[in-house]
Structure 1
Amino acid sequence: MSTYALEAVFRPRSVAVVGASPRERSVGRAVVRNLREAGFAGPVGLVNPKHRQIDGVAAVARLADLPFKPELVVVSTPAATVPGVIAEAVAVGARAAVVVTAGLGQGPGSLLEQLEAAARPHGLRIVGPNCLGVMAPHAGLNVSFAARSPLKGDLALVSQSGAIAAGLVEWGAERSIGFSAVVSLGDALDVDFGDLLDWFAQDQKTRAILLYIESIRDARKFMSAARAAARAKPVVVVKSGRHAQGAKAAATHTGALAGSDAVYDAAFRRAGLLRVLALDELFAAAETLGHLRSAPGRRLSILTNGGGIGVLAVDRLVDLGGTLAALDEATVKRLDAVLPPTWSRSNPVDIVGDADAARYTVALETLLADRDNDAVLVMNVPTALSSSEEAARAVAEVLGRRPRPGAGKPVLGVWLGGHDAAIAALNAADVPTYATESDAVRGYMYLVRHREAQQALMETPPSLPEDFVVDAAAAQAIVSGALAQGRRWLDPLEVTALLGAYGIPITPVTLATDADAAAAAAAPLLAQGLPVALKILSPDIVHKSDVGGVRLNLASEASVREAAAGILERARQARPEARIDGVTVQPMITRPKARELIAGLADDATFGPVIVFGRGGTAVEVIDDKALALPPLDLRLAHELISRTRVSRILKAYRDVLAADERAVALVLVKLAQLAADIPQIRELDINPLLADRDGVIAVDARVAIAAYEGPVQKGPWHSRFVVRPYPKEWERQVELAHGRRMFVRPVRPEDEELFRRFFDKVTDEDLRLRFFSAVRHFSHEFIARLTQLDYARSIALVAIDPDSGEMLGAVRLLADANYERGEYGILVRSDLKGYGIGWQLMRIMIEYAGSIGLKMVEGQVLRENVTMLTMCQQLGFRIRPDRDDATLMDVELPIAAP
């Protein structure tokens, strides 16, 4: 349901507390006390059949007895009564409820099921049960039993743990960090992370979102909401259970490498979230984000009156991947003129232990003016020769002279000794302060990582090669045939054919049922001077080396015959119950300078298919050099995945070894992602080793596990098991236009940036003004990236292309709201091609798409002077009326019939 009725949770006009109590240390009393102390301005009703008044405030026996209709109902009654209370809330017209009561159970027949049955059919939103409550300081709302109310601020906190939420509120109050809202999800029967990410992404009082996650239930909804929110503002997440063994039963190397937490990490990375590993890091992130906006780069200047702490800060900066800024000559000369001759003359800028306020002032001003750094860390060690408080005030005064609060480079502070007056002065100047130099550097790197995550979301991938052709039908036939026989694994011949259908090079393989057949199969290879490899073939023996089932570098028919007999005998002795079909015969691949890699697919219970890449070989789990990513992949994401492994370093040239063809490796990963999209029955796929050198790649060994696919496992308008919607190829189509012209219509892809740039060159200034409501002539990378990089789960952009020239003719886009009820459209056609029906056809397809995903309404705004667009909307059946807030605009909307 996403943001539906959430305004009743965070901005209710009236509140009722059911279970309000005069009893000390009761949850009901704590909720009432917090609500009164928060200063909620609307009507508040107390409901308790046992009391006529509570703390001097009249109470009633039932919700129906209140003199007003409560928008928000807070429930703290015994578990057995909760479903009945929710039914009463529905009856009186409440829109949302916060259920703090615990102990409602799980599963069929439970009180939780009864609660859901009472609320969901009527659209009553539920926060909880078993939660701390909700706090929204800007609305004067605190319906929780936390010990303290949060300060007003612009950080939103969403936590599955009430204790974590309460702890962060306490910590924030002590550090002058405020919140726009604090929400404890508890059992998250209804309102979940996805809903709240959507809400806070649009909330004008929220600048950054903090998440404490234990698990995700609806991964598809979460990923869609998280990606949308991360494009709008920083989202920081800490997840517990990092060392849970989620892949114990995996049958392949890729499956074993894809542990549960590693998959969560891949998901957070794909969504553009900033992950921290512990609560103290979340606190540090909150401290940083509570004061600072962004860091333009990784270069940090350090200003200190103590050399030792400066060196420690440099060590930590290098550990975390930051860059120590260089001082340019002008900066050194200026500092030489005002600092004592014993200053460090390098970064860290050590202004010596007797540094007074004046010295801090001139040094900070100089570093802020230096273009060779991106941020400044100011530190102070208390000494008997100077005042820490005066130094802090000097820093605050320098920043106070900026044109506006928060303008310019980020400045962070470490004042050892924790002088309250000094910390207060820095906080007032919006300088985040930290207990140690390590915490401060880590806080700075949060800013850097967030900016880089935003840049990654906007990067344009290179185009796929024109020969990226797959035979999905042949691959599906292979898998379907094996499933029809009741098999869980493809045999090596099928694996070879499957990878071949996707253009992944693999060593050819021949099946031999006995030793003589093996010798006969090896003969042609041996005649070419190629030694051969033999491997046991059994659907019951996955790890061949464990039973002595592999022999390599066999150079004669006699050695092949002997090796095959030995392999079969050892296998029968080690695994007498196993079905043994024979051995496979393959030529030995001799690429002496090739790197051994692993690439494959694993299956995660929460996030579905996962791409795994890393260092290959028999000891992959021990080496544990791997990185994971969620499909679909483009070439940019594939290269980024490779870069996160240690083995990526030796893909480069070193000594007498030429660089491997990294693009060929990346292309294999993209093809695996496409294979996972096309064939959802593939559960695990293991290419190990995948050899890579300057001549390309070749798979030496591969295994594929399969299982029946019964349809969508998560809600959403597409069939794939992916939690990030893949490119919707089904919306590609050829369209006939007027005057004998044709156009090819397809969804926009991330690599279309240059296509759009050339298109805008052929659109007049007037047409651009009519489309974007203002004059637009500079098309930055960020501007076009927002048009071409889409979350297909929420938005679609269809581009019309001339099939002969490849030029773009026009585009239409539709952005669905978080509730999947309404969609806003926009359209633009090349100025020299009006009159061919391009806009009409694009609008028609867009409306068809809106119906396919279940939208009830398509709407838009059109300039009153744009008569052409208004006429087309009228002909398409749109309702047209003047905009209530802007006389220059007309609002258009089209009801969408169910498909």
Structure 2
Amino acid sequence: MSVTNLKYLFNPGSVAVVGATNDSRNAGNIVMRNIMAGGFMGPVMPVSDTAEAIAGVLTHPSVRHLPKTPDLAIVCSPLDEVPEIIHSLKARGTRGVVLMGAGFAYMTPEERQDIKDTILGIADPPSLRIIGPKSLGFMVPSLNLNASLAHSNVEPGKVAFISQSDSLFATVLDWAKAKGVGFSHMIALGSRIDVTFADILDYLASDPLTRSIMLYVESIKDAREFMSAARAASRNKPVLVIRPGQALDTVLGDLKLRETGDHRLVDAVYDVAFRRAGMLRVENIDGLFDAAQTLGTPKHVYGKKLAILTNGTSAGILAADRLLAGGGELAQLSDKTIEAIDAALGEENWSRGNPVDIPFNADGKAYSEVLKLLLKDKNSNGILVMHVPWTAQPDVEVAEALRDSLKRVKRMVLTAWLGSGRADVARDVFRKAGIPTYDTPTHAVRAFLYMAEYLRNQEMLIETPDSLPTDFFPDTKSARDIVDQALTQEREYLTEPEAKDMLAAYGVPVVETRIAISAKDAVIAADELGYPVALKLRSPQIPQPFDVGGVLLDLETPERVWEGAASILARCTRERPDAYIEGFTVQKMGRRPGAHELFISATVDPVFGPVLSFGHGGMAREMIQDSALTLPPLSMSLARELVGRTRIASLLQGTPSHQPADIDDICLTLIQISQLFQDVPQINSIDINPLYADSEGVLALDAKIGIAPFEGEGESRLAIRPYPRELEECVELKTGRKVTLRPIRPEDEDTHRAFLESLSDEDLRLRFFGVVQRDFDHKDIARFTQIDYDREMAFIATALDDAGNPETLGVMRTNTSPDNSEAEFAIVVRSDQKGEGLGSYLFQKGIRYTKDRGTRKLTGQTMIENKAMQGLSKKFGFVVSPDPHDEDLVEMVLDMETVEA
């Protein structure tokens, strides 16, 4: 993953078109005409050995004969000629290539892999970056650059669109032109042998011309790269995504999917990945642009309560119906607001409720006056103003009055002017003023709901999770020993007792279980467990013994166990004579009257790695279909969010006849399973069903765990890198005080705020290069404490104060470039801790970490008067020199190759 040389792709000074031709149907002719018609100001150099001139520009016979090295080359030649062309371009020093030539789509998988390896071996990315093969190209309207096969240009704008589909690229282009929407970039990625979604997201996240990013995604190749880039981008600007879902998975699903038909799971995993990355998923192209228009404004929606102002009763009802159907709420008007509107319009002249239905002939003054009253009402999170056309109605005059009323308003107001003609003019008034406007109530309400959902996803990114229980100490060694022993026996599943021992090792309460190979052994096991017991058939051919009468409950005597075993064997022999009987499972009856039956399962997605699922369990689990998915690692907050997305969550809150279930215990169990999957990567599936849950906590009655050999660390399977506990260490200061150096965690928000507040004004000035306001809000602190461990690192020095409470004494931060070529550091130590060696410990920690991850260079900046920082950096081998761009700063650079391992 890298943004290296992407500027030569998307901001080139010169362009070559290799494989240009005068055949109007050929890609080499189409792209050449598009570039010339677009008005690109740099040199455009067509390469052709057959034509003398193309689109009015003289050609060159080969790349070697070009008068200057092109920053960007558009290669339209057949794919079998591409390796030689790439070789020539690389030799000339070209940095960016788009492959448009035909042939890739018709190759076998083996041929595709072969040509991919050949091209990448020559290009050596990121030395030379490649979009495609099978790319439609891209547009950068601000440069007048149309380096695509599209049939028309687009206007400049603040929205970037990245598409995996050529057809949708063209469809969005037409849609945008009809709606008057402009773009900062339009990019068709093609087959992504080099440049990926992650690369483009990293590039656009810091692009000043891009206010929001839209993606059309069918599949992701490297989940961790994508998630890191998406999380980083969505912290800076809105990222919206559209994915076809189940129909796409049916067509593109792998062999296993086609066999099982479980296409829902694939799309659900993508859905939760988008949510965890802080992105907003929309349903269709209309929704994509509706949401982009709303999210592109600086105003936000902090809830789903909407007030509706309209001059048409039916239109108001339609909008309210769409709002409620989408999960929104009608805002309840305050008594003060109702009284104020009564005074303005008269009680008989409006609906006296929400929707606020005013007279059909209301003029701009009436609209503005009522809107101002609604804006003062804090019960709503947004306001939708609608207008239904009537004969001789001043549509535009009303729009202009509202525009003037909203000039300094900070709350979200959306408009929907129904109809055409004069309504089009009114919508243009709002559009020019930056006020979100739509032509139907449905579109307007959908945009509001999208915005509410988007901000909920953003809150998940910066939400401070509850601390994990301090007494959660899993017995990882015992769990690994169980799996290792089963793998030496070449088994694919643990026995039920082994599975429950695994869960118990991670603190999950389980029903005690025994394995019996005969009726006699079953009686002995029941005597040991104590009565009553449950007896279950064990057969690899019968995954659900209940289906053949292979489960008996509440057996209270040895005689009943003996007789029950005999009856199970008889039924099984009669109904499934092909089944091999391994014996019985004997369990102590878990008596939890009134407990809810839940399930927790985990599996490994081929793209996103481990995925956890939670929902309504028991025998009717498949019929009820109440479940939600998430990606580990989990915190208590994320676990609660997962539980809250199920229908059974409302029952878990309690009913008049049942106490609320222990939600904290359910969430802790989810975290324990997530940690188990991470710590023991040989586990490839877990299914706990049923998991009883009530006010006393949880109890696992049945568990099945699948295993397979696995080489490597468990965290490498996760799409989101978990907290790197292995980087924790203890040091001793000169005073003898014991201090822990460890990566920062989201739970450190309160102590980190106290740490920042404890810094002197001078410390803050030197750290942030100027005067800093001390009122850090939750979002600021969350950005400091909730980091992507794949890209960022913050080592804090923490110790207990005199009262036994944790406090932060210092922090060393590194921010690594996506291609791992360079990391930038910053360090600050509390004023009263200076001189105790803490700064040196933090510096050493950061340097070792940077060296271990293979980063080539560690850099930093400090103010020229900060001699202490300069001296400390020189102590560790940094080269200190004046910053060429700012005379008040100095640069500190450490070549990591000079650092001993």
Same fold (TM over 0.5): yes
Partner of 1:451: 455
User: 2:391, 2:447 → 1: CA distance?
Assistant: 29
Q: CA RMSD in A?
A: 2.3
Match of 1:483 among 479, 484, 487: 487
8 Å CA contact retained: 1:151, 1:178: yes
Q: What amino acid does structure 1 have at the position aligned with 2:142?
A: H
Match of 1:779 among 758, 776, 784: 776
Q: How does 1:655-670 map to 2 (within 5 A)?
A: 655-670=656-671
Say whether residues 1:630 and 2:631 are aligned partners.
Answer: yes
TM-superposed CA distance for 1:882, in Å, is 1.6
- CA-to-partner distance for each residue in 1:269-307, whole Å, 9 max, x for gaps? 111111112333223223433556532433322121101
Match of 1:722 among 718, 736, 742: 718
Say whether residues 1:219 and 2:220 are aligned partners.
Answer: no
Match of 1:117 among 115, 121, 136: 121
Q: What amino acid does structure 2 have at the position aligned with 1:688?
A: N
Flag structure 2 segments of 5+ consecutive residues without an equivalent.
Answer: none
Partner of 2:440: 436
Change (3 A) 1:637 1:85: same
TM-superposed CA distance for 1:885, in Å, is 2.6
The 10-residue stretch of structure 1 (149-158 or 796-805) with the greater mean CA deviation from structure 2:
796-805
User: 2:254, 2:478 → 1: CA distance?
Assistant: 31
TM-superposed CA distance for 1:334, in Å, is 4.1
Say whether residues 1:143 and 2:144 are aligned partners.
Answer: no
Change (3 A) 1:291 1:179: farther
SS in structure 2 opposite 1:740? coil
Match of 1:259 among 256, 262, 265: 265
User: 2:17, 2:825 → 1: CA distance?
Assistant: 42
User: 1:162, 1:146 → 2: CA distance?
Assistant: 9
Flag structure 1 segments of 5+ consecutive residues without an equivalent.
Answer: 713-717
Q: What amino acid does structure 2 have at the position aligned with 1:441?
A: V
Partner of 2:179: 175
User: 2:56, 2:862 → 1: CA distance?
Assistant: 56
User: 1:134, 1:812 → 2: CA distance?
Assistant: 40
Q: How does 1:526-545 map to 2 (within 5 A)?
A: 526=530, 530-545=531-546
Q: What amino acid does structure 2 have at the position aligned with 1:469?
A: F
Change (3 A) 1:524 1:698: same
Partner of 2:509: 505
TM-superposed CA distance for 1:720, in Å, is 2.4
Partner of 1:736: 732
Q: What amino acid does structure 1 have at the position aligned with 2:774?
A: R
Match of 2:756 among 743, 756, 760: 760
Partner of 2:81: 81
SS in structure 2 opposite 1:354? coil
Say whether residues 1:799 and 2:796 are aligned partners.
Answer: yes
Partner of 1:715: none
Change (3 A) 1:250 1:83: closer
Partner of 1:678: 679
Change (3 A) 1:339 1:22: farther
SS in structure 2 opposite 1:60? coil
User: 1:615, 1:197 → 2: CA distance?
Assistant: 37
TM-superposed CA distance for 1:29, in Å, is 2.5
User: 2:52, 2:742 → 1: CA distance?
Assistant: 67
User: 1:101, 1:768 → 2: CA distance?
Assistant: 55
SS in structure 2 opposite 1:301? strand
8 Å CA contact retained: 2:32, 2:55: no
8 Å CA contact retained: 1:185, 1:191: yes
SS in structure 2 opposite 1:790? coil
TM-superposed CA distance for 1:525, in Å, is 4.8
8 Å CA contact retained: 1:247, 1:259: no
Q: What amino acid does structure 1 have at the position aligned with 2:768?
A: F
- CA-to-partner distance for each residue in 1:563-621, whole Å, 9 max, x for gaps? 11222344455555555331111121121110000012111111111111000012212
8 Å CA contact retained: 1:538, 1:578: yes
TM-superposed CA distance for 1:431, in Å, is 2.6
Partner of 1:582: 583
The 10-residue stretch of structure 1 (803-812 or 460-469) with the greater mean CA deviation from structure 2:
803-812
User: 2:808, 2:78 → 1: CA distance?
Assistant: 63
SS in structure 1 opposite 2:717? coil
8 Å CA contact retained: 1:353, 1:385: no
The 10-residue stretch of structure 1 (830-839 or 579-588) with the greater mean CA deviation from structure 2:
579-588
- CA-to-partner distance for each residue in 1:364-392, whole Å, 9 max, x for gaps? 34434444433221212111141323333
TM-superposed CA distance for 1:557, in Å, is 1.8
Q: How does 1:150-165 map to 2 (within 5 A)?
A: 150-165=154-169
Partner of 1:278: 284
8 Å CA contact retained: 2:467, 2:636: yes
8 Å CA contact retained: 1:765, 1:777: no
SS in structure 1 opposite 2:124? helix
User: 2:372, 2:642 → 1: CA distance?
Assistant: 41
Q: What amino acid does structure 1 have at the position aligned with 2:461?
A: L
User: 2:214, 2:3 → 1: CA distance?
Assistant: 18
Change (3 A) 1:305 1:170: same
User: 2:18, 2:263 → 1: CA distance?
Assistant: 49
TM-superposed CA distance for 1:48, in Å, is 1.5
8 Å CA contact retained: 2:36, 2:55: no
Say whether residues 1:864 and 2:858 are aligned partners.
Answer: no
SS in structure 2 opposite 1:807? strand
Partner of 2:557: 556
User: 2:703, 2:127 → 1: CA distance?
Assistant: 50
TM-superposed CA distance for 1:83, in Å, is 2.5
Partner of 2:829: 829
8 Å CA contact retained: 1:150, 1:170: no
Partner of 2:410: 408
User: 1:250, 1:11 → 2: CA distance?
Assistant: 42
User: 1:41, 1:484 → 2: CA distance?
Assistant: 68
- CA-to-partner distance for each residue in 1:334-384, whole Å, 9 max, x for gaps? 433443642223222222212233333333344344444332212121111
SS in structure 2 opposite 1:259? helix
Q: How does 1:301-450 map to 2 (within 5 A)?
A: 301-339=307-345, 341-399=348-406, 402-403=407-408, 408-419=410-421, 420-450=424-454
User: 2:540, 2:377 → 1: CA distance?
Assistant: 66
Match of 1:465 among 469, 477, 483: 469
SS in structure 1 opposite 2:614? strand
Give TM-score scaled by structure 1 length: 0.94
User: 1:575, 1:258 → 2: CA distance?
Assistant: 31
Partner of 1:617: 618
Partner of 1:295: 301
TM-superposed CA distance for 1:875, in Å, is 0.7
Percent same amino acid among aligned pairs?
43
- CA-to-partner distance for each residue in 1:65-116, whole Å, 9 max, x for gaps? 2211100001122333222222222122110111122322354444444333
Change (3 A) 1:776 1:388: closer
The 10-residue stretch of structure 1 (61-70 or 325-334) with the greater mean CA deviation from structure 2:
325-334
8 Å CA contact retained: 1:161, 1:184: yes
Q: What amino acid does structure 2 have at the position aligned with 1:343?
A: W
8 Å CA contact retained: 1:335, 1:366: yes
TM-superposed CA distance for 1:709, in Å, is 0.7
User: 1:27, 1:257 → 2: CA distance?
Assistant: 36
Partner of 2:843: 843
Q: What amino acid does structure 2 have at the position aligned with 1:764?
A: S
8 Å CA contact retained: 2:2, 2:126: no
8 Å CA contact retained: 2:238, 2:296: no
Q: What amino acid does structure 2 have at the position aligned with 1:770?
A: L
Change (3 A) 1:616 1:258: farther
SS in structure 1 opposite 2:894? strand
Change (3 A) 1:290 1:783: closer
